[in-house]
Chain A
């Protein structure tokens, strides 16, 4: 049973296109995240949702729009893709315990290549 799953695993597309990446977790966690890992392996938070509410929105271009239809899903839509968007995108989830920062469980990643 996959705890945090992402689709697709690989995404190759042309500049200017719009694409979505889906994420689902079956761990019953309240909080979900999107991270971006660049070509130098640097991981940076993009967004976080807690019970469908946006709680972290880093300085990400507004071409990126997360959507959380329910607390088990957090999708990432990207408009007008640019070359610099090429990266691996990781979804993660964690339980929400007041005053405690629990470990985050990561999905397998989606490798996005913009041509």
Chain B
């Protein structure tokens, strides 16, 4: 069963628009971690953020912000005022403490295309 769902496969936005990427996860663990990674066209995987299940504070880092809601099992990611350099595939991932040995279960990714 898919533990992490990223429903939007490809999202195109015009530069300077905001874009929100949805991530819904599924777990029976009470302790878990959520991550976002970016994969630009060059192919490497770049870590963006880690959140544990006890920390529901939203986070902002520059133009990036994350909204964690345990009640809806969602960990959404917003890019504000998008730029062409934001064009990439973004992956949400889950790591469960009581099951998983720190393995990352990835969603299928959101391909973001920022049009100049």
Contact = CB atoms under 8 A, between A and B. Distances in A.
Contact of A101 (B39, B91, B95, B111): B95
B101 A56 contact: yes
Residue with the greatest number of chain A CB neighbours at <10 A, chosen from B35, B37, B47, B105: B47
A109 B44 contact: yes
Contact of B103 (A40, A42, A48, A108): A48
A88 B42 CA distance: 13
Nearest to A55: B101
Interface residues of A, number: 29
Contact of A108 (B43, B50, B102, B109): B43
Nearest to A90: B45
Interface residues of B, number: 24
Interface in A77-96: 88, 90, 92, 94, 96
B23 interface: no
Among A43, A44, A90, residue most surrounded by chain B Cβ atoms (within 10 Å) = A43
Q: Top 3 nearest A-B pairs by Cβ distance? A: A106-B45, A101-B95, A101-B33
Given A40-B108, A41-B111, A105-B47, 11 more contacts: A41-B109, A42-B106, A56-B103, A92-B45, A94-B102, A101-B33, A101-B102, A103-B35, A104-B102, A106-B47, A109-B44
